Chain A
Amino acid sequence: MSIATVFEIALAAVVLGLAIWTIAVPETYSATVGFVAYGLLVALIWVRLDAVDVALTEAAIGGGLGGVVLLGAAARLRDAEATAAERPDRSTRLIAAILSASIAAALAFAILILPDYAPTLAPAVVANAGATGMANPVTNVLMAFRGLDTMLEKVVLLLAVVGVWSLASDRAWGGRPGPRHEADPNGVLAFLARLLPPAGIVVGIYMLWTGADHPGGAFQGGAVLASMWLLVIMAGLADTPPVSSRWLRFILVAGPCLFLVVGLGGLCFGAAFLAYPVAFAKPLILGIEVAMILTIAATLALLLAGAPERNT
């Protein structure tokens, strides 16, 4: 057994331990903290699987923004825990355990008997990378070969925003999402919120730019930008914009809109819908990604902020 294998087994054991903790620990808040740690360690697994793009996404979302959403909810729901219904009785739990274990066993079985010759599209992706002029194969798949999925996924994000906003009370419609954050303007949080964002914005843009040839991309960069915006909001230096704001609406649709327009352009000037003319492929894709990073940052931040709550 090599050192790498020992490390991997230890990593898997710790991840599983955290997963069990997340499911089994009585207090919801502790479970949530466990899940955030779990998300960060799963990002390490992704690095071990040589999927750095996914690792970045998982760390930014699973451990990062997703963790913030869940922790925020856990903190707000702390009082409700006492009134919560009782756990199902012992026999129900036993049956559930047996059935879940059977499903997991079936899945493990299916994984272990996957054929020795693994089918792959990696050579095809690498061979066609010239069409976009970008060296990061994942970005190529996301933006060129499976562009429709990526565009629809952005619509899913937008619908999530519509869904969250639709939960506002009629009185608060058009107002600002989330509670107002009052913080000491000379406090340490405000200090951090002034110091960090410039650096964070540079990091976010760098992740977008480097995503063309190395791991990174609009989503990972957008998550960094979103967290910077949230930091500024939480420090009380800025307020969330009202949902009726016109510029906010435009930013939220900018990414998918440009994607759609470029896709239709491919219909007129290129080979097909969502095809990029080879000469302009890279600038076009980067253009879409720039619009997308803004959209993603705004969307993620607003999903975290929640439904409109107040008109002032």
Chain B
Amino acid sequence: MSSVSVFGLCAAAAVGLGLYGLITNPQSLRKILAFNLLGSGVFLLFGIVGRRGAAAGVGNDPVPQALVITGVVVAFSATAMAIALLLRLFHTSGSTTLGSRAPTSSRSDAPGG
């Protein structure tokens, strides 16, 4: 088994685990963690693609590497923003879940203009 296959399977498994965690974990923070896991699996996928494209004395195709660096930055910003939202939500309402209390069924006149 080459390192590409080993880490390729690892990446696929990370994606699967991330998806599972996103669906089943009730706390938002755990969902954010799962999203990061999912993201790192996808980045590894780029790494494998790049590793297969090693040529011209470069051990890993630099284009996917650059894409991953950009992607990591974006994923980090997303995490930071999600955490800020979550903390603010906790501060405002004391809840940290994405409870799907349907806004349709609330008969109260919630303000929102």
Contacts and interface: CB of A to CB of B under 8 A. Distances in A.
Interface of A: 1, 4-5, 8-9, 12, 15-16, 19-20, 22-23, 28, 31-32, 35, 38-39, 42, 45-46, 48-51, 53-54, 57-58, 61-62, 65-66, 69-70, 72-74, 76-77, 80-81, 83-88, 92-93, 96-97, 99-101, 103-105, 107-108, 111-112, 114, 118-123, 125-127, 137-138, 140-142, 145-146, 149-150, 153, 156-157, 159-160, 163-164, 167, 217, 219, 300, 303-304, 306-307
A73 B14 contact: no
Nearest to A160: B77
Contacts of A114: 49, 52
Given A57-B69, A81-B27, A167-B85, A49 B48 contact: yes
B10 A153 contact: no
Q: Decide if the interface of chain A is mainly helix, strand, loop or mixed.
A: helix
Contact of B10 (A12, A77, A123): A12
B12 A23 contact: no
Given A50-B59, A73-B83, A103 B15 contact: yes
B8 to A, nearest CB: 4
30 contacts: A1-B1, A8-B7, A12-B7, A15-B10, A23-B18, A23-B33, A38-B37, A39-B40, A42-B40, A42-B44, A49-B3, A49-B47, A49-B59, A54-B65, A74-B29, A77-B87, A77-B90, A84-B26, A85-B99, A100-B19, A104-B19, A107-B16, A111-B8, A111-B11, A112-B5, A121-B63, A137-B62, A156-B73, A164-B80, A303-B81
Given A39-B40, A84-B97, A121-B61, A12 B6 contact: yes
Contact of B65 (A53, A100, A107, A149): A53
A92 B22 CA distance: 13
A9 B59 contact: no
A223 B94 CA distance: 32
Interface of B: 1-3, 5-21, 23-27, 29-30, 32-34, 36-37, 40, 43-45, 47-63, 65-70, 72-74, 76-81, 83-88, 90, 94-97, 99
Nearest to A137: B62
A49 B50 contact: yes
B26 A121 contact: no
Given A12-B10, A122-B55, A142-B66, 12 more contacts: A23-B17, A23-B33, A28-B30, A107-B16, A108-B8, A111-B9, A111-B11, A125-B63, A150-B70, A167-B85, A167-B88, A304-B80
